[in-house]
C-alpha cells in the first residue's frame, strides 16, 4: 500500500489503520491550489466515482494548502483518521503530492472509471518529500516517427505520474518537420511527410511502402503546452540546426548548400543515420530560422529553447564556395568555427528575447553565452566541461539513458539496437559526474531520458522501450538515492511489483520483467542485433 515511486524522502505509516473515502468525503481547496484541485476532481473523481464535493459533508476532508516554508516542489502529506492534509511548498509541490496520494489509493486509482463495488481507503501516513533535481526530463523524438497529439498528451500524464517535469520535444529532424510555422507553410506541407518509412535499424532492408508523417498545428501545440502546464510540466521545444535539417531543406531548397548539390532534388529522408545535407551558413538561412523561432517563442513560454547543434557533417561546407567565403569574411579558422558562429548567433538572439539556449554538447566546442546550457549526450565529458566552464548542464548520456537502446541481451528484444541497458543499469545511473567539485555540481540542474524513435513506429513500441525503465529513471531524478553501488535495487524491484499494476491500469505496454510478450518480440526478418553504440541507430 505504501510502495510510493519515486521513493519519497521520508514516509512513515501506521499498520492496518486507514482513512476511508466515501461519497461524503469533501475536497477542500485552499488559496492557490486550483490546478491540483482540478486534477484531483477530474482524475481521482473519474477513477473512484466519488463526487469530492467542495464543502465538508461528514465523510472526512481532503484538504489542500500551500506553505512556502516547505521546499520548492516539495510537499507534506498527512493522512489521519479524520482525513487528508496535503500541503505543497508551491503549486508544483502540491501537484506532486497529489501523485503520491493517488499511488496510496492503490493501482485501481489509475483507471479512468471505477470498478464496481470498489472501496477507497488510504493508509495512515506522513510523507515529507522534495525532488533532488529541478530538471527531470523526458525527450520525445516525434520526427523519426510522428506521435499523434493524443499520444503526446498521454505521455504528459505518464510523466506526471512519475513526477517528471520537462518534456523536451524534438520537433524537427532529417525525417520530418512536426510543428506548423505559418510564415513557412511548406515546412509541414512538404516537410512533415515522407513517401515511405523504414522498419528496423539503419541496415534493415525493410520499408513500409506508404507515406508516413503528421504534424501539430499551432493550436495543437498550444493545447499540449497548456495541458503540460496544468501538470507542472514545461515543454522545451527543439528545432535542430544546422544539421539534422533535411526535411526543412526538402521543403525550402534554398536552405541547403545549393552550390554543392541540387537541393531541389532532395526529399524528406526515408532512412536513419545522419544526413550529409545540412543548412547553408547564409543570412537567408539565419533570417528564415529567426522567423521560425519567433513563432516558436509565441507558442512555448519555456525559459529554455533547444537548438540541437548535434551531428552536423561538414563535408558540404568544405566544398561550398559560399561557406568558404563566409569563413573568410568572419575570419574563422574552419568549418567547426562556422558551426559555432551559427549557434552563437541564436544564443545571442534568444538571450536578447529573455530566453536561454540549450543544445547538445557539440555546442560547447565554439564558446557560449553565460546563460546557455548543455545537454550532455555523448557521455559525461561534455557535462563535466560545461559545468567547469560555468554552464548549466542536463545529463543524458547515451550510454545510460537512451531508452531506444535495448534493455536485455536476448534475441527476443524487438529491434535490438545499441548498448544493453537494463532496468537495474538505469536505476544505478548517477547524473552528477564524480569528478565535479560541489560548486561545479551545482550546475547539473538535472537529467533526462531520451527517446529516439527510429525503431519505434507506434505507441506500443514507445511504451515498450520507455517502460519500466522510466520508473527507474524517475527515481534517479527525484529521489535522494545513495551512490550507485549502494542503491537498494531489490527494494526498488519490490516497489515495482506494485508499480507494474499501476502501469497495467494506465494501459502501458511495458516490457514485462520476464521478457517480451509474443507480440512484442523481434520479427526474425530484421537481421542480427547490432552491438555497441549505434553511431546512428
Binding site residues, ligand ACM, CB under 6 A: 310-311, 360, 377
CB of 75 to ligand ACM, least distance (A): 34
| Pick 289 or 360: Cβ nearer ligand ACM | 360
CB 290 within 8 A of CB 349: yes
CB of 277 to ligand ACM, least distance (A): 16
Burial 108-140 (b: 16+ CB within 10 A, else e): ebbbeebeeeeebbbbbbebbbbbbbebbbbbb
| Pick 169 or 360: Cβ nearer ligand ACM | 360
Backbone angles phi, psi at 393, to 5 degrees: -135, 140
CB of 392 to ligand ACM, least distance (A): 17
CB of 311 to ligand ACM, least distance (A): 5
* Beta-bridge partner residues of 122: 19
Please give the distance of CA 290 from its chain centroid, rounded to a whole number.
25
| Pick 216 or 360: Cβ nearer ligand ACM | 360
**Is residue 369 helix, strand or coil?**
coil
**Distances 310 to 42, 241, 313, 360, 529 between C-alpha atoms, Å:** 41, 8, 9, 6, 26
CB of 32 to ligand ACM, least distance (A): 38
| Pick 170 or 428: Cβ nearer ligand ACM | 170
| Pick 289 or 377: Cβ nearer ligand ACM | 377
For helices 149-161 and 218-230, the axis angle rounded to 10 degrees is 10
Return d(Cα 247, Cα 214) in angstroms, integer: 13
CB of 334 to ligand ACM, least distance (A): 21
| Pick 133 or 377: Cβ nearer ligand ACM | 377
CB of 170 to ligand ACM, least distance (A): 9
CB of 377 to ligand ACM, least distance (A): 4
**Is residue 11 helix, strand or coil?**
strand
Hey, which bits of 22-159 come out as E strands? 26-29, 61-66, 75-80, 83-88, 120-129, 135-141
> CB within 8 A of 196, min separation 6: which ones?
207, 208, 209, 210, 211, 212, 270
CB of 274 to ligand ACM, least distance (A): 8
Reference 138, options 438, 349, 415, 447; nearest CA is 447
**Distances 526 to 409, 417, 455 between C-alpha atoms, Å:** 16, 11, 11
**Is residue 221 helix, strand or coil?**
helix
When CB distances to ligand ACM are compared, the closest residue is: 310
| Pick 310 or 493: Cβ nearer ligand ACM | 310
| Kind and range of the H or E run holding 317 | helix 315-319
| Pick 272 or 289: Cβ nearer ligand ACM | 272
Q: Between β-strands 304-308 and 234-241, what pairing exists: parallel, antiparallel or unpaired? A: parallel
| Pick 377 or 429: Cβ nearer ligand ACM | 377
Torsion of CA 136, 140, 141, 146, to 10 degrees: -170
**Is residue 233 helix, strand or coil?**
coil
Return d(Cα 32, Cα 355) in angstroms, integer: 27
**Is residue 355 helix, strand or coil?**
coil
What is the grid cell recorded at 514?
Answer: 520476464
Q: What is the 3-state secondary structure (H, E, C) of 379-436?
A: CCHHHHHHHHCCCEEEECCHHHHECCCCCCCCCCCCCCCCCCCCHHHHHCCCCCCCCC
| Pick 128 or 311: Cβ nearer ligand ACM | 311
Q: Between β-strands 176-177 and 193-194, what pairing exists: parallel, antiparallel or unpaired? A: unpaired
Dihedral sign of CA atoms 450, 456, 462, 466 in order: negative
CB of 308 to ligand ACM, least distance (A): 8
Question: 220-226, long-range: CB within 8 Å, 24+ apart, which pairs?
Answer: 220/149, 220/180, 221/179, 221/180, 221/299, 221/300, 222/299, 223/149, 223/153, 224/149, 224/152, 224/153, 224/156, 224/169, 225/299, 225/300, 225/301
Active site residues: 173, 244, 311
- How many other C-beta atoms can be found within 10 angstroms of the C-beta atom of residue 164? 27
Amino acid at each position: 500500500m505504501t510502495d510510493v515511486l519515486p521513493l519519497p524522502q521520508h514516509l512513515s505509516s501506521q499498520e492496518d489503520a486507514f482513512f476511508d473515502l466515501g461519497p461524503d468525503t469533501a475536497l477542500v481547496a485552499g488559496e492557490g491550489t486550483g490546478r491540483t484541485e482540478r486534477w484531483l476532481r477530474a482524475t481521482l473523481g473519474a477513477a473512484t466515482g466519488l463526487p469530492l464535493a467542495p464543502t465538508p459533508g461528514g465523510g472526512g476532508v481532503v484538504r489542500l494548502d500551500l506553505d512556502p516554508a516547505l521546499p520548492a516542489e516539495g510537499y507534506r502529506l498527512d493522512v489521519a483518521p479524520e482525513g487528508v492534509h496535503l500541503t505543497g511548498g508551491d503549486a508544483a509541490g502540491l501537484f506532486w503530492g497529489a501523485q503520491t496520494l493517488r499511488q496510496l489509493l492503490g493501482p485501481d486509482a489509475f483507471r479512468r472509471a471505477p470498478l464496481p463495488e470498489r472501496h477507497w481507503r488510504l493508509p495512515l501516513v506522513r510523507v515529507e518529500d522534495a525532488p533532488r533535481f529541478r530538471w527531470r526530463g523526458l525527450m520525445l523524438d516525434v520526427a523519426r516517427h510522428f506521435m499523434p497529439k493524443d499520444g503526446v498528451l498521454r505521455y504528459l500524464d505518464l510523466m506526471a505520474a512519475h513526477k517528471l517535469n520537462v518534456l523536451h520535444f524534438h520537433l524537427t529532424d532529417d525525417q520530418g518537420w512536426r510543428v506548423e510555422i505559418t510564415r513557412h507553410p511548406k515546412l509541414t506541407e512538404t516537410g512533415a511527410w515522407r513517401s515511405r518509412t523504414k522498419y528496423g535499424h539503419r541496415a534493415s532492408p525493410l520499408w513500409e511502402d506508404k507515406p508516413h508523417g503528421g504534424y501539430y498545428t499551432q493550436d495543437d501545440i498550444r493545447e499540449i503546452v497548456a495541458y503540460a502546464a496544468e501538470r507542472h510540466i514545461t515543454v522545451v521545444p527543439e528545432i535542430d540546426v544546422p544539421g539534422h535539417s533535411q526535411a526543412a531543406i526538402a521543403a525550402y531548397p534554398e536552405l541547403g548548400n545549393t552550390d554543392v548539390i541540387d537541393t531541389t532534388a532532395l526529399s524528406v529522408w526515408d532512412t536513419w543515420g545522419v544526413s550529409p545535407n545540412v543548412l547553408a551558413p547564409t543570412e537567408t538561412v539565419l533570417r528564415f530560422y529567426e522567423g521560425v523561432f519567433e513563432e516558436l517563442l509565441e507558442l512555448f513560454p519555456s525559459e529554455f529553447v533547444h537548438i540541437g547543434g548535434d551531428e552536423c557533417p561538414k563535408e558540404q561546407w568544405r566544398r561550398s564556395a559560399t561557406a568558404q567565403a563566409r569563413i573568410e569574411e568572419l575570419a574563422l579558422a574552419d568549418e567547426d568555427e562556422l558551426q559555432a558562429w551559427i549557434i552563437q548567433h541564436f544564443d545571442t538572439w534568444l538571450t536578447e528575447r529573455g530566453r536561454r539556449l540549450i543544445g547538445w554538447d557539440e555546442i560547447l566546442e565554439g564558446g557560449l553565452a553565460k546563460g546557455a546550457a548543455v545537454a550532455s549526450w555523448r557521455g559525461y565529458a561534455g557535462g563535466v566541461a560545461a559545468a567547469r566552464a560555468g554552464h548549466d548542464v542536463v545529463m543524458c548520456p547515451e550510454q545510460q539513458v537512451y531508452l531506444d537502446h535495448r534493455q536485455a541481451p536476448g534475441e527476443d528484444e524487438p529491434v535490438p539496437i545499441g548498448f544493453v541497458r537494463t532496468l537495474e543499469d538505469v536505476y544505478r545511473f548517477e547524473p552528477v559526474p564524480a569528478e565535479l567539485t560541489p560548486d561545479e555540481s551545482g550546475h547539473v540542474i538535472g537529467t533526462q531520458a531520451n527517446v529516439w524513435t527510429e525503431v519505434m513506429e507506434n505507441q506500443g513500441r514507445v511504451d515498450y522501450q520507455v517502460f519500466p525503465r522510466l520508473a527507474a529513471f524517475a527515481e534517479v531524478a527525484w529521489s535522494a538515492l545513495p551512490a550507485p553501488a549502494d542503491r537498494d535495487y531489490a527494494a526498488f524491484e519490490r516497489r515495482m511489483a506494485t508499480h507494474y499494476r499501476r502501469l497495467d491500469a494506465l494501459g502501458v505496454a511495458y516490457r514485462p520483467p520476464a521478457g517480451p510478450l509474443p507480440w512484442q518480440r523481434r520479427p526474425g526478418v530484421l537481421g542480427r542485433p547490432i552491438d555497441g553504440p549505434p553511431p546512428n541507430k
